[in-house]
Every structure is written in C-alpha cells, then in structure tokens.
Amino acid sequence: MLNIKKLHKSYPIGDSSLHVLKGIDLSVDNGEMVAIMGSSGSGKSTLLNIIGMLDEADDGEYILDGVPIKNLTEKKAAIYRNKFLGFIFQSFNLINYKNALDNVALPLYYQGIKRQERQEKALFHLEKVGLKPWAEHLPNELSGGQKQRVAIARALAANPKLLLADEPTGALDTKTSYEIMDFIQSLNDEGKTILIVTHEEDIAHMCKRIVRLTDGVILEDEKVEQVRASQYV
Amino acid sequence: MFDRDLWREIFQSINMNRTRSVLSGFTVAFAILLFTILFGIANGLNNTFAEAFADDANNSIFIQSGTTTKANKGYQAGRQIQFKNKDLNYIKEEYNEKVQYITSRIYLNVNASFRNEKDSYSVRAVNPDHQYLENTKIKEGRFINQLDIDNKSKVIVIGRLVEDDLFLKTTALGKYLSLNGLQYKIVGTFEDDGGDNEERLIYMPVSTAQRVYGNNDYIDQINLTYNPEMDYDKAISFSNALTKDLKDRFDVASSDQRAIRVRNLAIESKTVNQMTFGLGVIIIVIGFGTLIAGIVGVSNIMIFIVKERTKEIGIRKALGAQPKSIITIILTESVLITAIAGYVGLLVGMGVLELIGPSLETYFIKDPSVSTSLVVGATITLIAAGAIAGYLPAKKASQIKPIVALRDD
C-alpha cells in the first residue's frame, strides 16, 4: 500500500536549515492501522504531511499504491489526494458556512460527481457515522465529537485507499476520544488502511502497530495488541 | 460554462460575507455612478450645442454690412455699406468652387391678415438656396424657386405657426394672404427645428421684395455655405479671403470691424468641437480614474477575503480542489461583485440624470442621458475590471499551500 525509503526533509530557518526527517523507511500494508508517535518536533506531522501529499520530501522514495509520488504538479497532487487519501484533522477543518451534508459532499464535488449522486453518497456516509439527522446543521451547531464524525464521513466520502488522521482526538475529551477511536477501529475492521499521528499512549495502543519517531528517525516499530475502544464507551 | 455548483459556491460565499461584498462593490458602484452622471452631463452639453446649430447648416457663412468706423481711401468714417444683387453675383462667380449654396436676404416686417385674423410677422426675402442654408423643411407645397425670382411673383412660403395663427386649423396652401394690403399666394408651408421664432416667418422671393418695397436691388445680408469638402482650416481661410476681398471691393479699411462683418460657423464649430472633445477627454480620464480606484478597492478586498479564507482554501485543496477551481471561484466572485455593483451605479446614475435632467436646462444641459452603446461598453468594461481586480487575489489563492493553510490554527 505504502512504501517509503530513505525519506529526508528539512526546513530552512533563517540562514541554516532544520533537518526534520533524517532518512525514514516505512512500509504499510493493506488493512493496517498504524500509530505514528513522537514528542512535538519529532517530525511525525511532517511525515504525515508528506504521506498526504500536502508537502514534498527533499529526498527519498515514496510509492503509494504502486504510484511513485515525486515532482507532482499542483493539479496532479490534487487529483491524487482526492483519489487516494482521506484526511482527518485535529481541529476538524470543516467549512463553517456549509452544513454537514455539504461538507461531506465536498470531495465528491471535486471528483466531478453530479449533485444528486453527491448528496446521496454524502447522506450515506453521514448515516454511517450516525449523524443523518444532523445533515442540515452547520458545524457550529454540532459538538466536538459530532464535528469529528462529520470530518470522518467527509474523509470516507471519496472512498480513499488510505485514511490519514492527525491527532484526531487531540481536541476532544476522553470519552468522546474513545467514541471516535471506536469508530475508526470499526473502519479498520472493514479493511480500511489507517495512519494516525498521536502523542497519546492510550490512543496509540488502540492501533495495531506503533511507530515511534524521535528527532527525525524511527526509533521503534512494533506490532501491538490492539486495545478495543468499545470497552470504554 | 454554466456550472450550477460553481454559482452555488459563489452565492454562498457572497452571502456569508454580505457586508464586505457590498462595501467592496461600493467603490465600483460609485465610480460608475460618477462616470454615468458626468457622461450624461457632457451629452447634455453636446445636445445643447447641437440644438443651437440645428437651425443652420453648420458650414454657413453670414455676411452683413454696416457703417464704416474708419476713414479709408478718401472716404470718411460713418459711410453706410449697402450690398446689392451684383455683390451676390460677384461672390457666386468669383468663388464658384468654394460656395455650395448662396442666398441674399432682405428683412421686412409686415402686417398679415387673412379674413378676420391678423398679426404682424417678419418676412425674409430670399433666393431658392435659402431652403438648404436654413434646413427649412417643406410641410406642404414648395419653397421659393428660380421662376418666382425671375418673374418677381407675389408668392410666399409661410411657417407652420403662421398657418396655425391665421388659418385656424384650415390648410393655407393655395390661399391668398394679405401683407400690408397686397395679396400674396401661399405656395408652401414649412417647419424648422430652430424653434418657434423660425416657424413664425414668411419667405418671399428676393426680387419681389426689391420691386414692391423700394424698387431697388439692395440686399441686407448674404448667407452662403462653403463646399463641405473643405475642412475647418480651409473654410476659415476661405472666409478670411472673402472678407478681405469684400473690404477691397467697398473700399473699407482692412482693420474696420463694423462695415463688413463675416461670421463663419466653421470657427464656432471648431471651437465647440474642440471643447466637446476636451470635455470628453476629461470625463474619460475622471471616469477611468475612479473606475481604477474601484478596481483597486475590489482587488484589495478580494485579497483580504483570500487571506481570510486561506484555511478554507487549504481544506479544499486537501480534499482535492485543483488550482483551476480555486481561481475560477475567486475570479467569478470578483467579476460578479464588480458587475453587479457597476450596474447598480449605472442604474442609479441614469435615475439621477432622469430626475435632475429637466432642471439642468437652465445650465445649458439639455436631455442628459446615456446611450445603449455606453451600457454595452460599460458591461464589457466591468467584466474586464472584475477580472483585473480578481486576478491578483485569485493567483494568490491558487498558490496557497494546504499545509501552510492548515497549520494556521
């Protein structure tokens, strides 16, 4: 599904540059659920951004579902993001003047799907996250957990091969966090490949594999026994 | 081209930022409002000029005589200069190439009566060419012709208002009108755009007037039009040459301004044309200046909108929005705001002109209005203006990196 070799990334800071990723090797198979852990500044978000084609690596190889990701034009990157990836953000990143349904339908709009079909698909995914009755509500009329579920529905709408979640529970209380994790786990059960960036141990242990990053290198990469979130809900 | 979803996106966005959109449109609306009003007023001034000259062919030259103010060649000052038929013939022959139409004029005042209706009128005794010189429009019958001149016929052509006054809704053509007790046959009636005074006139053959009133060959004034193929400068030098020639002919000092007066409409037309042109340039400069200010205003606010929507644009890009779609949204929004605001300005401007138009006639501004071609031109200009205003912001928006935008928490 995902193959990364000797990935390097540095950011210019004034005259010098900050070497954030110092040769990352990582491969993820279909159906895996991987937590990327590390303290702030360890490069975990940068790694996720590169995987998400929001940022480009300086050096190294990145192959996503057999497609080498290198020197993409903006247009190509947009098409790949739309086709391959679903994003879940810490701060939800919903468009605040669009109702839940329209938010979920947005990736489908960029796929060029007709309005009628878009609305149906979006509604289907909203129902899946249990928010069908809230379809017409604006984001600010929803709770944090509900917002994140709308965001998950949006990430799922385009039927991506890979779900990328950047601190998906970072802005939520513990109970809601577990509810969201429970839902993400159920998606993984259905076969979705999921990458989660987190710094919370309990969230990481709800994944099947933990990759620990320190100062831009992978220090540890181990399979773990998945803790089911459902027992806390 | 027409993408319903795109328009939904745009209206949603404008609706969300209603105040801001209205404010940004305001400058453009104001620019167009100003432009419309200025343009209308300029048009009104033009109309006034056009009307002032509607009466006469604008290649007319009028030659009048008076008394000398300077002694010259043994003659004392105060001598009366009198044109005669031979002077007209002289001009006709001497300047055959340069003269289009020429006529003499004798002014008379008469008491006219038909049955019980009577009134006093001005009479102009003229040659047939006079019809073209004054833009006289024949309503019924005909104008004075050469046969009338040759036969010194007692025929007249009367103005529309003379007919109204004396013939009380009945037709005057073919009837006899008494002028100072002499019967004249009415061979024609005419209309004139030069106003009521021009339509309260009576024309008669110059030869008839000369025989009946004085039995001489005097004429009061000579009117002519120069060959319209001559431009203003040629026309002006022609009238200068003519003036000098006539002054020599009557032994008038060349510096004498009163004895022989030549008024050339070319000079006035030239001045008016230059003035109108200058006015047009000023209006275009002011109009475009304000429009550019408007464009900068919209552009500024669009840049601000893009800045404010950076995060949203980042989200859209993360979800797969291509740069093209972002550019389209911003550009269309800009064009839409500019075009709508511009039209509001145009409509308000036209309304203002409509409202204040009548009261402006005192200031020589008649019927100020804007033409359809201006409205079409304005539409194209506005769309172009919107596109210009939106270009920078759209470019800025398309270059937003989603990662930078999303980091912006």
Question: A100 to chain B nearest CA, in Å?
Answer: 15
- The pLDDT, as a whole number, for residue A218 is 92
Model ipTM value: 0.90
Cβ contacts of residue B248 below 8 Å, gap of 6+?
none
Judged by CB atoms closer than 8 Å, whether chains meet at B403 and A93 is answered as no
Any idea which of A18-27, A185-194, B129-138, B180-189 has the lowest mean pLDDT? B129-138
Contacts of B18 in chain A (CB under 8 A): none
- The pLDDT, as a whole number, for residue B55 is 58
Cα distance between residue B44 and residue B42, in whole Å: 5
> How confident is residue B42, by pLDDT bands cut at 50, 70 and 90?
confident
Question: A82 to chain B nearest CA, in Å?
Answer: 4
- Of B227 and A63, which is predicted with more confidence? A63
- On the question of pLDDT at B238 being above 50, the answer is yes
Domain A30-53+73-232 superfamily per CATH: P-loop containing nucleotide triphosphate hydrolases (3.40.50.300)
% of chain B residues with pLDDT over 70: 94
Q: What is the mean pLDDT of chain A?
A: 91
Task: To the nearest 10°, report the CA torsion of A57, A63, A69, A70.
Answer: 60
Question: A74 to chain B nearest CA, in Å?
Answer: 7
Q: Does B328 touch chain A (CB under 8 A)?
A: no
Tokens representing A106 are 């947005």
Residue B1 amino acid letter: M
| Eight-state DSSP code of residue B193 | T
Q: Does B280 touch chain A (CB under 8 A)?
A: no
pLDDT in tens, A31-78: 999 999 988 888 888 899 899 998 888 999 999 988 898 888 888 888
Contacts of A79 in chain B (CB under 8 A): 320, 322
Candidates A73, A82, A93, A197, partner chain B, best to mutate (most B CBs within 10 A): A93
What is the value of pTM for the model shown?
0.66
What are the angstrom distances between the C-alpha of B32 and each of A133, B231, B257, B346, B407? 48, 36, 49, 6, 41
Question: B19 to chain A nearest CA, in Å?
Answer: 15
- On the question of pLDDT at A124 being above 90, the answer is yes
Question: A73 to chain B nearest CA, in Å?
Answer: 10
Tokens representing B231 are 């431009």
Average of pLDDT values for B13-22? 78
Judged by CB atoms closer than 8 Å, whether chains meet at B312 and A95 is answered as yes
Q: What is the mean pLDDT of chain B?
A: 83
Angle between helices B310-318 and B323-356 (to 10 degrees): 140
- On the question of pLDDT at B182 being above 50, the answer is yes
* A178 within 8 A of A205, measured Cβ to Cβ: no
Cα distance between residue B124 and residue B155, in whole Å: 12
- On the question of pLDDT at B395 being above 80, the answer is yes
Q: Does A93 touch chain B (CB under 8 A)?
A: yes
Q: Does A75 touch chain B (CB under 8 A)?
A: yes
Judged by CB atoms closer than 8 Å, whether chains meet at A93 and B316 is answered as no
Any idea which of A124-133, B122-131, B395-404 has the lowest mean pLDDT? B395-404
Cα distance between residue A163 and residue A177, in whole Å: 17
- The pLDDT, as a whole number, for residue B361 is 67
| Contacts across the A-B interface (CB distance below 8 Å) | 63
Judged by CB atoms closer than 8 Å, whether chains meet at A158 and B318 is answered as no
- The pLDDT, as a whole number, for residue B1 is 40
- The pLDDT, as a whole number, for residue B49 is 74
Judged by CB atoms closer than 8 Å, whether chains meet at B16 and A97 is answered as yes
Contacts of B406 in chain A (CB under 8 A): 54, 89, 93
- On the question of pLDDT at B382 being above 50, the answer is yes
Across the interface, of A93, A97, A107, the residue whose CB is closest to B320 is: A107
Across the interface, of A75, A107, A115, the residue whose CB is closest to B319 is: A107
Residue B404 amino acid letter: V
Tokens representing B401 are 């990196």
Q: What is the CA radius of gyration of chain A?
A: 18
Candidates B6, B16, B319, B400, partner chain A, best to mutate (most A CBs within 10 A): B319
* A144 within 8 A of A66, measured Cβ to Cβ: no
| Run of H or E residues at B407 | helix B402-407
pLDDT in tens, B248-293: 888 888 888 888 888 888 787 778 778 878 888 887 788 778 778 8
Q: Does B406 touch chain A (CB under 8 A)?
A: yes
pLDDT in tens, B43-92: 787 777 766 665 566 788 888 888 888 888 888 888 888 888 888 888 88
Residue B97 region, left (φ>0) first, then alpha (ψ -120 to 50), else beta?
Answer: alpha
- Of B372 and B327, which is predicted with more confidence? B327
Question: What does the domain layout of chain B look like in residue ranges?
Answer: 4-52+271-407, 67-83+94-98+227-258, 100-226
Tokens representing A224 are 């773990």
- The pLDDT, as a whole number, for residue A164 is 93
| Run of H or E residues at B124 | strand B117-126
Contacts of B5 in chain A (CB under 8 A): 109, 115
Judged by CB atoms closer than 8 Å, whether chains meet at A87 and B398 is answered as no
Average of pLDDT values for A188-215? 93
pLDDT in tens, B135-155: 888 888 899 989 988 988 899
Q: By CA distance, what is A84's nearest residue in B?
A: B320
Judged by CB atoms closer than 8 Å, whether chains meet at B323 and A78 is answered as yes
- Of B188 and B8, which is predicted with more confidence? B188
